[in-house]
Structure 1
Amino acid sequence: MTNTRFGSATVELPTDTQILITRRFDAPASLVFTALTTPEHVRRWWGWSSSEMIVCDIDLRVGGRWRYVVRDEHGSEFGWHGEYTELDAPGRMVSSEVFEGFPDAASLNTTTLTEADGVTTLTTLAQHTCREHRDGHLEAGMEAGMQHTFDRLQVLLAEQGSVAGRYRRVAAGFTAVAAAVPFDGWQRPAPCVGWVARDIVRHLVEWVPPFLQAGAGCDLGPLPSVADSPSAAWAALDSALQSLVDDPSTAHVEFSHPQAGVHPLDGAIAMFILGDLLVHTWDLATATGQGVVLDADEVHRMRVGIEPITAMLSQSGHYHAPVAVPADADEQTRLIALTGRQP
């Protein structure tokens, strides 16, 4: 993991009442936005590492509120809260911010994320009501704390952007959908023609292990019967795959397959397995009457990857022909339509 951006955030003072913060991250904007707005991630990077975040509430919608409370090493607690006034994921977010120790010194923070060549530039413009409040913000040690917290965010993004981190997020989505399938849900028709929900798990269990065995000699071991328990079969496959991508040596193993080509093993998993698992998460959710929001970073990666080759993919029988959707459809809808499914 590179650390060349550690300590690289900049602070400017455009006016007497403003603070402008800029920081670049080696990660796509969708991943940065998720890390900024998901409690389980925020708990891992926000604030000093010597402090414990004991409250992290985020209601991510216009009019929704957020609140963070940290406890330092001396046991003192400090709180911040605010309300979202604009949200345009993953590029823009506007919210108020109130430090509860000085409730009259609120600011309005406008955060933008601009991505170019896989690097996301974050800017936050903090608008205070007067110079006194702005200077109080600066004099409270804001810059040192900001550098530290952004460095922690960079570490998290590197982890989340690894194949192991990407697989963990996508697999967690499939696991959550599978866990919510009702008792009789596994026999419900699936979007894939001729399949029921159970067949989605059967497909994964039947093609992934022999694919990895043929390309890299990986033995994922015996898996439970899909007929007996789709959930157990998926859990075993998931555990085996996660162990494989968590192993640092996987990046140095060559994967060579007559149809799929030659790749590092972790690259092959990212290229061929993640996208399949992502789309089949939607299939399983749709088959069993569940709404699902797929991982935004993986949706973006896959859409950009397959959009130029959709004709080839449909001609080869990999997908059906793309389905037309409105020009302003969200990216998940556009991806699902590209795979020939009706969103």
Structure 2
Amino acid sequence: MSFATPPGWYPDAGAPGTERWWDGTAWTAHTRPPAVVQHEPVRQPYAPQSFGPPVPLPPARGGGRTRVLAITLSGLLVLGAATTAFLLLGPDDSGTRTAPAPTTSDPAPTAPATASASATPSGEGGPDGDPAVLVDQLNGITLAVPDGWEKAKNTPDDAPTIRTAVSYDCPGTAASFCYRGTVSTRTARAGRTDPKAVAEADITAAADRAYEEDILGQRTHGGITSHKVLKAEPVAVAGRTGYLVRWQVVTAKGPGGVVQSVAFPSEAGIGTPVIVRLAFDADRPELPVSLMDTITRSIRPIGDSATSGGVGASIGP
């Protein structure tokens, strides 16, 4: 039986009036002001100690309190089972079986609200289940999913990702498959606050991941042989000033592609910029470079009432 608490925003006992991101195993440095008013109290996964960073108590595994609780619950279950068996099977004085007596038990512990519950905008029904919207709960943004694209359920780096629905055999290796277009969101490294510096540093990583070498070390397109800077300029994203860098890359195999990194201040109050990476295969009529601009313009803060959190007209080529 697992007692793990799902990732999400929870009240920070070490800093009243703020919420801190629990990644499923430990407290992170990400904080934000309290989200929308909850209809029921949200329990913390564990009570954090003073910041720097908070330590979840009790430990997730092997902790003394956990063993005591497990032993106590086991004892209660054994006692309850023995009592029930006696009531069901034990004969009374007349030699007939005793009717089972009604039993009561403590209600099962309620799991704390998940991250989606704490970040879902009030009155909008929540965009998480909408196939036309990608939601990044940690960074507090949404973006529209183009027609013919899908939200990826699993990715090697666990980044919220959308991609073209149909895959193909990578030109550089028959042991892997590729997608014509991908878009993913992530948080910049701690301590970096300048969107221009973040975007300029991230574009190399974005190009390498898309066309040089995947997370498993496979050269899916035979590697990048050269690149050309198409654009590097400030850009407005979700009402904030960010920075955009766009490269065209040539690969040893296949048509190459266009890669873009956009960095902008977070709406979630986590203190570091948000990065949105885009990668389109070249020479694809359904993937014009203008679609990158359309997707970038669709980025909205979660709960943006003017756009229903990023929901608007569907995006086409």
TM-score (norm: length of structure 1): 0.27
Which structure is higher in helix share? 1
Larger radius of gyration: 2
Which structure is higher in strand share? 2
TM-score (norm: length of structure 2): 0.28
